[in-house]
Amino acid sequence: MFPNEFLGYAAGLITTLALLPQAIKILSTRQTRDISLVWAIAMNTGIILWLLYGLAQGDLPMIAANSLSLILLMLILGLKLRYR
């Protein structure tokens, strides 16, 4: 593994884990009033595009990070829609 891949994995891990506290808070409080629906849709769209780009480039750190981020962001969006 090259040093650049380590940077990619580290960046992906940090940005993906940054979504986890928000998802946990929503699950525990069942409140999403402070989450913007436009933000949640835009973030899901952006992560899908980054994932597609990573797949096209064959960039494993980008694919892994964006796959996990997409799962968390889809959860947040789904909960936003459910707890309106």
25 within some domain: no
Looking at the chain, the whole-number percentage of residues with pLDDT higher than 90 is: 90
d(CA 57, CA 8): 13
73 within some domain: yes
Q: In this predicted structure, what is the pLDDT of residue 5? A: 86
Output the pTM of the full model.
0.90
21 within some domain: no
75 within some domain: yes
Structural domain span for residue 61: 37-84
The predicted-structure confidence for 29-84, as pLDDT tens digits, reads as follows: 999 999 999 999 999 999 999 999 999 999 999 999 999 999 999 999 999 999 98
Q: Which of 48, 54, 72 is nearest to 9 (CA)?
A: 54
Could you give the number of structural domains in the chain? 1
5 within some domain: no
53 within some domain: yes
